[in-house]
Amino acid sequence: MEVKKKIVLHFTKNNVDRPIVSRLIREYGLDFNILKASISPGEEGLMIMELSGDQNEYDNGIRYLQSAGIEIQALSQDVLRNEERCTHCGACVTMCPTKAFSLEPQTRRVLFDNSKCVVCELCVRACPPRAMELHF
Those residues of the chain that have pLDDT short of 70 are 75-77, 136
Beta bridge partners of residue 46, listed in sequence order: 10, 38
Q: Which CATH number fits domain 79-134: 3.40.50.2300, 3.30.70.20, 3.40.50.2020, 3.40.309.10?
A: 3.30.70.20
What span, in angstroms and rounded, lies between the C-alpha atoms of 103 and 81? 15
Q: Look at residues 78, 74, 70 and name the one whose alpha carbon lies nearest to residue 10.
A: 70
What span, in angstroms and rounded, lies between the C-alpha atoms of 39 and 24? 18
pTM, two decimals, is 0.57
Which CATH number describes the domain made up of 2-74?
A: 3.30.70.260
pLDDT of residue 1: 86
